[in-house]
Every structure is written in C-alpha cells, then in structure tokens.
A and B are shown apart, each in its own frame.
Chain A
C-alpha cells in the first residue's frame, strides 16, 4: 500500500470572517480529485495550505510523504501549482519563464513543452502582459505541466477558459494520470468537468468538508424520485432522504442513499413511484450544500 500523495488531518485555520475547520483530505497516487465548493468555501485556502503558503493553526499536513511546512522545499520540488489568481512577471516573455523554470527544476521536458506550446497555441516570445486571460492561464499551466510533477495542485484551472481550451486542458490532465504514480487535485466551479474526469470528489462549504467519496458512488447514491401520494396515504420519511417537495398529490423526493429496494419501500407504504431520475453532479452538489446548511442552521 503506497503512501497517499496528500494527507490532511483535522486542519484548522481561522481568519477574521472565515474559519476552515476539521479539514480531512486524502488523495492516492493515480487519482484525480475534484474539489467543489461555492466561492469563499475554503478551496483556495486548503490548496495554499498544501503549498505551505498558509500555515494552519492545528492539524497535520503531509504532501508526497513530506511533512509541511518543515519539508516544503522538498515537497514543492515535485508539485506543480497553478492558481487562477496567480500572475506571472508581466514584462517578461513566456520563453523567459520557461527558461527560468527549467533552470530551477531538473525534470523540465523541453520536447513536451514544445508540444504544449503548439497544442495550446501560445507564442513564447510574447510578453505576458500582452496575453489574453485564457492564454495566460494556459501559459501558467504549461509551466506546471512541462515539469511532469508527481502532483498537480490546480486552483480553478478551467475557469474563464473557452470550451476549446477547456477541452485541451482536460485532455492534458487525463494524460497525466496515465502514469499511476502521479495525481491531480483540482478545484472547479465547472461541475461538468469535475463529473467527467474525477475519480474522487470532495464537497466543501463554509470551511467544512461536507462530503467526500469516489465519483461512481456519488452518482449511484443520489436519486430524485417523482411520486404520487394518493389521498389518505402519508409520505414516509425514509432514511437518506434529503429533501421532499410536496404539492398536492405530487411529491419529489431527493435521496442520497438510493438502493434498489427504495421504490419497493415507497410502494409498500402506498405511494406510487412514477420516475426515478439520476442526478448530475451539479444537482447533487447543490442538494448537499442546501441540506448541510439547513442542518447547521437548525
């Protein structure tokens, strides 16, 4: 059993108006984890803690087998970090940045860097400040990818990218995990991208991890049931049901614990099950957040 690539345990960090509490996260080699949460939920803070840019008040942080922040230089040698708000040196060119990164990391792959330049359609001799937002994002990604790091920490890598650029980025990311020693953690608002390529998915809201599981289990567990409740019958409150919207005889139940005998359970109670729908990751995410917020408000 190889050591996990990322291991966060009970990490806490307080700011004036925000608190990251009891964050536990684990990522194994060969996997892609999608990190989904509303704005301000703590995604960037968590990722920066993994880069030792922020020091938590409590908890342990281990990345690639190194304890942070003490061994951060050793860990960062094999981590590629890209953040949506990260900037490069505006007056320098992309070529300059590539030379700079290559001089710092021994594993820079010049051939792959050239392939990426073509694939991402970037001009290396252009000054960074003249690049569009999308080009800058792709340039930053190139600088991280061409080093072939074991771990990629990407804070919103596809935000603000046009669909074609997103497609190219996802292709490169999926290419990374063909090597099962490598792993990727990426945060995103784009639940479709997360749903497509992630092996593991973690939901975070208001500084707390509210759910984490592998993708297939998520998609299997959640369902929306469209029911008809005849007069005189009461809609049973079954375990795992997260939301029940009732209007007249029609009820729509959202459940996070779907099993094959759930329909049977409703039918035995006299309720008619009309349709059982799967849910997209976005619907699952929103239902999870709403449910979690209601629970905490109570």
Chain B
C-alpha cells in the first residue's frame, strides 16, 4: 500500500515539472541541429546543448528540492502516509527521472547527429564524456540540495560547477588522444577517456548515494 504513495509522489513531481522536461527537449533540438554546421555555428550549437542541460539541472534541483523545503510545501508531502525515508526516495527518483528523460533523449540524439552527419565520429568520445559530466554535475547539485538548506551553498555549488564544466571541456580538448582523433571518422576509445568516464559515473553514484544516506539519517525534516 505504501509503494503506491511513493509512486503517487513521483508522478506528482513529474506532473509539476512536465513543462521543464518538454522545454529542455525542445530547446535541445535546435542546438543539435546547429552542431553539424561548420566553425562558429557548430561551436554555438555545442555550447547551447550544454547550457540547456545545465539550466534544466539547476531548475529541477532548485525548484523541486530546495524551494519545496523553503516554501514549506514539503509539510504537505510529509503529512502523507509516508516515512521520511520514503519521501526522500520519492524526491530523488522523481527528480532524477525528470532530468534523465531529456538527458538520455538529447545524448542519444547527439550520438545520432554525430554519427549520421558530416561530423567526424572521432569527436564522439569527447562529447560522451562531456554529456556524462553534466550527469555528474546534476548528481552533485541534487546531493547538495538534499543536504544543505542555505542558498549560499547552492549558489557557490552552481558557480563552481559551471566553472568546472568549462575547465573540463578545456582539459578534454587538450588531451592528446582527443586532439589526434578529433578529425577521424571513427571513434577511438582510449584508456584515458574511459578512465575519465569511469570516474564520472562512479563519482555520481557515490556522491548522490552519500547524500541520500546522510539525509535519511537526519531526524528532522523541517
């Protein structure tokens, strides 16, 4: 009987952010369309795609998690027949689905665009690494949102996150394996790229998992 309350909470959260999900997918399409173009246009398309996912990330965490706590709307959710652990689980799952749906769609679309168009497939490892880093960024922001109340913590995190994404992109573009294979028609998965991908995915799981654990241990939800 309780599983259904969790399901209702998740569906409720998805319903409330439905336009964000659709908007992210819709905004990502022109960005993807620009990527196969040459020079500056391609660059603008790529940056726009990254921006769309970062903006989605920020909105989902801030309005879905942080604001709900600030506005005391969570009192309504907590008054439902759920344990606080179930509420946290529902929040994380619902919020994550809201991010993952557009992220998966846009990532798959990016792969298709890179593969099907004149874009060199050699750039694929770079793009996958960048897109997965955005997934990591989301997990970090969600983790911070679950654990900390102060807006200052979130703003600092968002600033640090954006700067880090820039640094990561510059770093990746500077890697010899990326540079040499950028123009080739086949994707080459070198060890360093795979290592970075592995670190990103592992970090995402560990950070989010730790935050959920810390949140559940805390007794006070208001």
Contact = CB atoms under 8 A, between A and B. Distances in A.
Given A76-B82, A100-B12, A104-B5, A85 B72 contact: yes
Interface stretch (A51-59, A119-127, A232-240, A270-278): A51-59
Given A48-B222, A54-B220, A103-B8, A73 B86 contact: yes
Interface stretch (A86-94, A194-202, A241-249): A86-94
A212 interface: no
Contacts of B73: 86-89
A285 interface: no
Given A52-B84, A87-B73, A100-B12, A81 B79 contact: yes
B8 A104 contact: yes
B81 A77 contact: yes
Interface string A74-108: 10110111010111110110000000100111000
Q: How large is the interface on B (under 10, 10 to 19, 20 to 34, 35 or more residues)?
A: 20 to 34
Interface in B32-78: 71-73, 75-76, 78
Nearest to A92: B16
Contact of B80 (A86, A89, A92, A104): A104
Interface string B8-29: 1000100010000000000000
Contacts of A103: 8
Interface in A263-288: none
Nearest to B77: A89
A205 B94 CA distance: 41
A81 B8 CA distance: 19
A42 interface: no
Nearest to A78: B81
Contact of A91 (B12, B16, B79, B81): B16
B122 to A, nearest CB: 45
Given A54-B221, A54-B222, A74 B72 contact: no
A60 to B, nearest CB: 15
B219 interface: yes
A72 interface: yes
A37 interface: no
B156 interface: no
Interface of B: 2, 4-5, 8, 12, 16, 71-73, 75-76, 78-84, 86, 219-222
Contacts of A48: 222
> Lowest 7 CB-CB distances: which A-B pairs, in order?
A55-B219, A81-B79, A77-B81, A86-B75, A76-B81, A87-B73, A53-B222
A86 B72 contact: yes
Contacts, number: 69
Interface residues of A, number: 28
A47 to B, nearest CB: 11
Could you say which of B8, B12, B75, B80 has the most chain A C-beta atoms within 10 Å of its C-beta? Answer: B75
Contacts of A85: 72, 75
Contact of A72 (B5, B84, B220): B84
A74 B81 contact: yes
A287 to B, nearest CB: 33
Nearest to A81: B79
Given A69-B219, A87-B72, 4 more contacts: A54-B222, A86-B72, A89-B16, A89-B73
B170 to A, nearest CB: 40
Contacts of B83: 52, 69, 72-73
A76 B83 CA distance: 9
A88 B16 CA distance: 12
Contact of B71 (A73, A83, A87, A92): A87
Nearest to A70: B83
Contacts of B4: 104
B110 to A, nearest CB: 31
A93 to B, nearest CB: 12
B84 to A, nearest CB: 7
A73 B81 contact: yes
B16 A87 contact: no
Contact of B81 (A55, A86, A92, A104): A104
B104 to A, nearest CB: 26
A53 B78 contact: yes
B72 A55 contact: no
B112 to A, nearest CB: 34
B59 to A, nearest CB: 14
Nearest to A74: B81
Nearest to B79: A81
Contact of A105 (B75, B81, B222): B81
Contact of B220 (A55, A73, A87, A100): A55
